[in-house]
């Protein structure tokens, strides 16, 4: 990086020890990583550069979604900020791992923890339950060393708090609500055809902690609707009081989509408006803590959270802290999708940690559902797309690639197709292998424009959600920017500098929340012609009419979008664009998320080799949450085994 741009903002201009300079110049440690580590060292009186190096890696780890830096694996797994494996001089690393760990352990800014015994409390060092006396105050140490894991203090606390709260809920399964016999009969009537769905609803209303895991189309939203409806009509809390219910999601877009689906259910769930987790917990501007916490708990007996795959470890910690002990918590999502942008893979960790056999569990059978219920039966997807997505999920590259029709003559008629570019790495309009794809996309886009010019908002938004290009990268020939510009070039016979910005049929995405307008980050819409030549934007799923385009601030064109931005959305046809060369960004989870956005057909643009490498590369995030949970009570309910519930 030093040779390419000596003034890059990630380069530290000050004099650095040779080891830190090497990692910074290679693009492994950013200026923020190093400056934060050096500041912590100064505050604690640490003078050892090797300890500062470890601290910088602990800071860096959270930027990459890890909860901690795994010191004994850094040499084999480290990449630069763009995910590229770096050609780093081996001499830059500490020569003796054990000596390096020992030096870190002896530092005044590091607290060392003995190995946690199985079945321990899992509580954070300074965070005992509310009814215990606080421990004696100890000197502040911003880093924690647990074996070969080096944590920043807050993430060590997050992990222990989450594990401790879940352990308590798994020990004391009974919740605050009581489901009456009529409610049980109603659930049996409505959900008896799918034993796993039935078990999920019963567990949510009978116990204080339930995880409902399943892929798209397995009925997760249906289970939420039936669970909330039964809770509202057939449960009561102590004293016969009616239940207090909240439904939340990590983003405004996910909350709005869930609310729309619940309204369509026609049951009592339609009366409860989902909100974001931030608003549920009481986000306060310029504050680091939410309004609701252990001292001011949430006033709810049942809290259902959807799209938990996008929830970070920090957010789950805040939610668990704010819940009453006997409140029912129901976490719903797909653990095989992309994880949160921030640190942690909480849904996957919970499925593993609370879904593996309990070491000290009683041997006698039980009719009570376990805390993790997996929904497997699909109801929404084409069978070929479902089989392909499951092969991707399971890492079976051979089966997945065999299911694709390679370079078909009739692209529009194929549910699964692979288009192999002739000129990888060039702009799409220069590749003759993409000519048929161009015709398909242009035809769909022209249809959107036709409805938008006529002012038919409903038809325009329906057509705009028919086909979407999903990219792994934002930049480069296979990135979102190039594909957006290319598609606009296909539909406008004008050079880029003469193309109108607010043309009818322009698909857009909201990139900021506006509560006054009722639009949220991630909402999709389309520009339509309004009265007197005006331009209006109709938003998918938003109640109310179109919005004058000048009232919208944060917005971007989305003929193409990143796979991350597509989470929570569904399209009839999806075009998945792979990079020309294998990329650490392109993982099994990212590909699975992209493919499962499609309802009718999937077109993958890329080479079979890159596709196979993506399927064989699962996301790896450092987290010790599963082992800290300890699986204290974890009978995973499979579809065929849940009838006893």
**Confidence band of 183 (pLDDT split at 50, 70, 90):** confident
The helix/strand/coil state of 534 is coil
Predicted pLDDT of residue 489: 87
CA distance linking residue 123 with residue 164, whole number of Å: 5
- Burial class (CB within 10 angstroms; exposed 0-12, middle 13-18, buried 19+) of 621: middle
- Alpha-carbon distance of 426 to 477, in angstroms, equals 6
Span 245-299, pLDDT tens digits: 899 988 877 887 788 777 776 566 667 788 888 889 988 776 678 889 899 999 9
Measuring CA to CA, which residue among 80, 69, 104, 108 is closest to residue 24?
80
Q: What is the pLDDT of residues 121-145, one digit of tens each?
A: 444 444 434 444 455 556 678 999 9
Evaluated on CA atoms 64, 66, 69, 70, the torsion sign reads negative
Q: What is the largest CA-CA distance in the chain?
A: 75
The span from the CA of 543 to the CA of 546, in Å, is 9
Q: Which helix (H) or strand (E) holds 577?
A: strand 571-577
454-498 pLDDT per residue, tens: 988 889 988 988 899 999 888 888 888 899 989 988 888 777 767
Backbone angles phi, psi at 435, to 5 degrees: -60, -45
Query: How much is the average pLDDT of 342-360?
Result: 69
Residue 114 CA to residue 146 CA, distance in Å, equals 7
pLDDT at 144 (0 to 100):
94
Sequential DSSP letters for 605-642: ES-HHHHHHHHT--------HHHHHTTSS---B-GGG-
What value does the mean pLDDT of the chain take?
Answer: 81
Q: What is the DSSP letter of 90?
A: G
pLDDT the model gives residue 79: 67
Q: How far is CA 116 from the centre of its chain?
A: 29
Question: Residue 106 contacts by C-beta under 8 Å, 6 or more apart in sequence?
Answer: none
Q: How far apart are the first and last CA of the chain?
A: 59
Helices vs. strands in the chain: H and E counts, helices first: 22, 23
Q: Is the pTM of this model over 0.85?
A: no
Shortest CA distance to 224 belongs to which of 346, 375, 17? 375
Distance between CA atoms of residues 401 and 403, nearest Å: 5
Q: Would you state the pLDDT for residue 125?
A: 42
Residues 17-46 have pLDDT tens digits of 888 888 888 778 888 888 899 899 988 888
Q: How far apart are CA 328 and CA 245, in angstroms?
A: 9
Which residues on neighbouring strands pair with residue 417, listed in sequence order? 405, 603
Torsion (CA) 350, 381, 273, 373 in degrees, nearest 10: -30
Name the more confident of 116 and 197. Answer: 197
- Closest by CA position to 517, among listed 486, 489, 548, 481: 548
Asked whether residue 322 carries a pLDDT value surpassing 90, the answer given is: yes
Tell me the pLDDT tens digit for each residue of 537-568: 888 877 778 888 888 888 889 999 999 888 87
Q: In terms of DSSP H, where are the helices of 140-219?
A: 153-171, 181-191, 195-206
- Output phi, psi for 410, to 5 deg: -110, 85
Radius of gyration over every alpha carbon of the chain, rounded to an integer in angstroms: 26
If 0-12 CB within 10 Å is exposed, 13-18 middle and 19+ buried, where does residue 18 land? exposed
What average pLDDT does this structure show over 175-187? 85
Distance CA 520, CA 542 (A): 10
Partners of residue 637 on adjacent β-strands: 373
| Phi, psi (degrees; rounded to nearest 5) at 411 | -65, -40
Of 537, 592, 541, 539, nearest to 564 by C-alpha is 592
Q: Find the Cα–Cα–Cα–Cα dihedral 320, 329, 618, 427, rounded to 10°.
A: -90
42 and 107 in contact (C-beta within 8 Å)? no
* The residue to which tokens 């009456």 are assigned: 180
């Amino acid at each position: 990086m030093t040779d390419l741009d000596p003034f890059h903002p990630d380069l530290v201009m000050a004099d650095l020890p040779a080891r830190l300079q090497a990692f910074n110049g290679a693009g492994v440690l950013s200026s923020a990583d190093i400056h934060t580590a050096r500041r912590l060292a100064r505050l604690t009186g640490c003078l050892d550069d090797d300890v500062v190096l470890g601290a910088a890696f602990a800071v860096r780890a959270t930027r990459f979604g890890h909860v901690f830096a795994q010191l004994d694996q850094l040499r084999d797994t480290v990449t630069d900020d763009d995910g590229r494996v770096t050609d780093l001089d081996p001499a830059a690393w500490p020569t003796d791992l054990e000596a390096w760990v020992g030096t870190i352990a002896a530092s005044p800014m590091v607290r060392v923890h003995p190995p946690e015994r199985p079945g321990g409390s899992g509580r954070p060092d300074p965070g005992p339950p509310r009814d215990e006396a606080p421990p004696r105050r100890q000197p502040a140490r911003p880093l924690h060393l647990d074996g070969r894991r080096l944590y920043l203090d807050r993430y060590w606390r997050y992990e222990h708090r989450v594990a401790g709260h879940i352990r308590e809920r798994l020990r004391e399964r009974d919740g605050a609500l009581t489901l009456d016999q009529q409610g049980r009969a109603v659930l049996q009537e409505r959900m008896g055809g799918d034993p796993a769905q039935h078990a999920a609803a019963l567990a949510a209303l009978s116990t204080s902690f339930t995880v409902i895991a399943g892929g798209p189309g397995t009925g997760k939203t249906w289970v939420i609707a039936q669970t909330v409806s039964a809770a509202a009509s057939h449960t009561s809390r102590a004293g016969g009081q009616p239940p207090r219910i909240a439904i939340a999601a990590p983003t405004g877009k996910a909350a709005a989509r869930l609310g729309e689906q619940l309204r369509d259910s026609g049951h009592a769930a339609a009366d409860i408006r989902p909100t974001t987790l931030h608003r549920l917990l009481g986000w306060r501007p310029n504050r680091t803590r939410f309004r609701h916490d252990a001292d001011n708990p949430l006033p709810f007996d049942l809290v259902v959270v959807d799209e938990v795959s996008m929830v970070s470890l920090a957010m789950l910690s805040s939610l668990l802290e704010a819940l009453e002990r006997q409140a029912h918590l129901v976490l719903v999502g797909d653990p095989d999708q992309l994880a949160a942008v921030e640190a942690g893979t909480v849904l996957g960790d919970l499925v593993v940690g609370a879904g593996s056999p309990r070491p000290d569990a009683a041997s006698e059978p039980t009719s009570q559902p376990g805390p993790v219920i997996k929904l497997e039966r699909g109801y929404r997807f084409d069978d070929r797309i479902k089989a392909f997505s499951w092969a991707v999920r399971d890492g079976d590259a051979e089966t997945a690639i065999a299911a694709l029709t390679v370079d078909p003559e009739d692209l529009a008629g194929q549910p699964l197709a692979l288009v192999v570019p002739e000129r990888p790495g060039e702009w799409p309009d220069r590749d003759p292998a993409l000519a048929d794809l161009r015709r398909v996309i242009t035809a769909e886009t022209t249809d959107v424009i036709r409805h938008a010019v006529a002012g038919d908002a409903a038809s325009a938004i329906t057509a705009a959600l028919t086909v979407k290009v999903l990219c792994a990268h934002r930049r480069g020939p296979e990135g979102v920017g190039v594909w957006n510009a290319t598609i606009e070039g296909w539909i406008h016979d004008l050079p880029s500098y003469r193309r109108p910005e607010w043309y009818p049929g322009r698909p857009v995405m909201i990139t900021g929340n506006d509560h006054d307008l009722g639009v949220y980050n991630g909402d999709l819409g389309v520009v339509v012609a309004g009265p007197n030549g005006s331009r209006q934007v109709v938003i998918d799923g938003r109640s109310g009419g179109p919005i004058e385009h000048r009232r919208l601030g944060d917005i971007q064109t989305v003929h193409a979008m990143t796979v991350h931005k597509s989470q929570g959305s569904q399209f009839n046809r999806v075009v998945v664009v792979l990079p020309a060369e294998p990329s650490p960004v392109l993982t099994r989870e990212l590909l699975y998320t992209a493919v499962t956005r499609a309802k009718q057909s999937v077109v993958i643009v890329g080479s079979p080799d890159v596709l196979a490498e993506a399927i064989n590369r699962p996301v790896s995030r450092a987290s010790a949450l599963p082992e800290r949970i300890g699986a204290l009570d974890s009978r995973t309910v499979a579809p065929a085994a849940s009838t006893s519930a």
